[in-house]
Amino acid sequence: MKILLTTDGSENSDGAAKFLNKLQFTADDEISIFYVIGWVPILSEWEALFPDFQVMRKDVAPKVLESCENILKTAKAKVSSSFMEGYPDKSIIDTAEDTGVDLVVMGARGKRGVGSYIVGSVTRLVTINSRKPVLVIRPLQWGISGSIKILFATDGSEHSDAMAKLIASMPFPDDTEITVLNVIPSPFEDIPERFAMEINDRIKRAVADARTREFKESGEIIEKTCQLLSNKYSRIEDMAKIGDPSAEILKTAEALKTNIIAVGSSGRRGIRGVLGSVSRHILNSSACSVLIGKS
């Protein structure tokens, strides 16, 4: 597997590197550490800014890269590093494309404050616009002890199938625990609870019949997903729930003490900058790390 590990010299970036040490890499795997020196191309100020960029290239960039390199000294993968000047999000996306990596790994550098998990603008833009899967590492996963716990939320789409294949190819440890979850949307989701009792018996029977079919389809989705993962992992559990997908995924992740929530990006095709509402909400609201897959 080829991984692009982005760094900005922050504690968050070093934390993402620490998480990678938990994975079982081989000599065939590659980790490319990548640092972007951000700049604003204002021509009238370029002459004044140029000496500062010289200092960044000569003194700062090597130290930023060396910090991540030192953390990954024990990793069995081939480790390389590079930097460039440019817009961080575009440079990361273009480099991921040009080098053909399988996964982009980023530290979650977001807003501070208790209960605030909104990711920073660069992380958000890369996650939205990248055609490569993106793994965003939260602080809670910097130093995982014990087995890694993954909650894989699948809806049976091509995006979810692509995510299953990605997880099956990743060098997670053999004792990794995976829970496959399918959430069936509730037919009464938009009906206030105090009015729910007024629904007549005919509608209730129709809903019950539909629910029977939906649970059957949910079971088929879960079974297909588990089969895609079973060749690599032995510790796989499954469950189906009814309700709002985003809320149920987050609630289940908290109950299971999940380390990583894996979701496919089911945004509209052909429109750049659009993530599916579920994946976007999970990215912004999850206390644990998030893996966003791309088909």
Residue 281 is part of a domain; what is its CATH number? 3.40.50.620
Residues 138 and 150 in one domain: no
Residues 2 and 119 in one domain: yes
Residues 7 and 97 in one domain: yes
Last residue of a domain, one of 142, 167, 188: 142
Cβ burial of 62 (10 Å; 0-12, 13-18, 19+) is middle
CA distance 100 to 177: 29
Last residue of a domain, one of 117, 142, 167: 142
Residues 136 and 182 in one domain: no
Residues 245 and 257 in one domain: yes
Residues 205 and 108 in one domain: no
Report which of 295, 290, 173, 274 is spatially closest to residue 233, judged by C-alpha positions. Answer: 173
Residues 130 and 204 in one domain: no
Report which of 161, 275, 271 is spatially closest to residue 222, judged by C-alpha positions. Answer: 161
DSSP annotation of 287 reads S
The residue segments making up the domain with residue 246 are 146-295
CA distance 229 to 222: 11
Phi then psi for residue 52, to 5 deg, are: -65, -40
Per-residue pLDDT of the chain (295 residues; tens, 9 = 90+): 999 999 988 999 999 999 999 999 999 999 999 999 876 554 445 455 555 566 667 678 888 999 999 999 999 999 999 999 888 999 999 999 999 999 999 998 644 443 445 567 889 899 989 999 999 999 989 988 889 999 999 998 888 899 999 999 999 998 999 999 999 887 655 555 555 555 666 566 666 666 778 889 999 999 999 999 999 999 999 999 988 899 999 999 999 999 999 998 754 444 444 457 888 889 989 999 999 988 6
Residues 250 and 266 in one domain: yes
Last residue of a domain, one of 142, 168, 189: 142
CA distance 173 to 263: 20
Residues 127 and 207 in one domain: no
Residues 99 and 10 in one domain: yes
Residues 121 and 151 in one domain: no
Residues 82 and 44 in one domain: yes
Report which of 88, 86, 34 is spatially closest to residue 65, judged by C-alpha positions. Answer: 34
Length of the chain: 295
Number of domains in the chain: 2
Q: Which residue has the tokens 């999940």?
A: 258
Q: Is the dihedral of CA 272, 30, 21, 154 positive or negative?
A: positive
